[in-house]
């Protein structure tokens, strides 16, 4: 018998979780801005202190991008931690991540 398929490393697992959040029933397209259409995204935030903890898993909802949603719900969770997004961040989300 064949055992369960395991992902080769932690990074693949965390990215897989972000991709799965994109398929969540809660996940919806963020609001359009002008003629720019945004894609829904999933996000996973992993503790960067070596504790191997997933701090936040979320998605685009309530008209907000995943990064905006996480910053409103958990404003301090990005500091010093590793962020996995299911898609490239838009310019606004990239700026929020860097700040």
Report the Cα 32 to chain-centroid distance in Å: 19
Q: What is the per-residue pLDDT across 14-54, written as a single tens digit (0 to 9) for each?
A: 999 999 998 999 999 888 888 888 888 999 999 988 888 99
pTM of the prediction? 0.83
Using CA atoms in the order 66, 72, 78, 79, what is the torsion angle rounded to 10 degrees? 160
* pLDDT tens digits along 50-96: 888 999 999 999 889 999 999 999 988 888 899 999 988 888 888 88
Domain positions in the chain are 10-98
The residue assigned the tokens 């310019």 is 91
Quote the CA–CA distance of 63 and 13 in Å, as a whole number. Answer: 27
């Amino acid at each position: 018998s064949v055992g369960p398929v395991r992902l080769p490393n932690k990074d693949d697992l965390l990215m897989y979780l972000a991709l799965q959040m994109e398929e969540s029933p809660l996940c919806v397209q963020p609001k359009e801005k002008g003629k720019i259409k945004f894609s829904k995204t999933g996000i996973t935030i992993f503790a960067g202190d070596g504790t191997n903890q997933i701090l936040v898993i979320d998605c685009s909802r309530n008209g907000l991008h995943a990064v905006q949603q996480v910053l409103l719900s958990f404003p301090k969770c990005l500091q010093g931690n590793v962020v996995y997004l299911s898609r490239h961040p838009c310019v606004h989300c990239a700026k929020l991540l860097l700040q």
